[in-house]
Amino acid sequence: MSLQVYSVPFWTEKEYRKEFIDKTLEVPVGGSTFYFDIPKNPMVYVSETKGVLYINGSCYWEPMVYMLQDIKSEFLYNVNVLAHSLGRSITDEKDELLGIDDTKKAEKRKYYVVVEDTEIGFYYNLYLPYDGRNGFIEIVPYFKKK
């Protein structure tokens, strides 16, 4: 009987970023700048134009949804850091369906985090792939005092 030993490579931050992170996007949200580390994925392209994030991909929908989940978790992390730096705490987190457009095959949603009296979040539209159109996701961040 032989014993197999697996070793996990030690990654420095720089090596990790070089190996797994494609780029970092800077997105302004209500006077703050949020940084999103976009992982390497050959099937999904993430871009930012005038504060709006776009997730584009091929006809495969799942990689784009996984990227959206990654951006949501990065967004929550950024809001958490911002809240702790202001001495506040997160009181609520929601993802709401706002509407469905059957003609465009689109779903409009709103994801937000409440930090005491402030709502920080983003509206996002999911455009499903159909009739030769690749699917894409449009994300518009916002900041609102209650």
d(CA 57, CA 66): 12
Q: How confident is the model at residue 10 (pLDDT cuts 50, 70, 90)?
A: low
The string over 24-44, giving b where at least 16 C-beta atoms fall within 10 Å of a residue's C-beta and e elsewhere, is ebebebeeeebebebeebeeb
d(CA 122, CA 125): 10
Domain ranges across the chain: 54-132+140-146
pTM for the whole thing?
0.81
Question: Each residue of 40-51: pLDDT tens digit?
Answer: 888 888 999 998
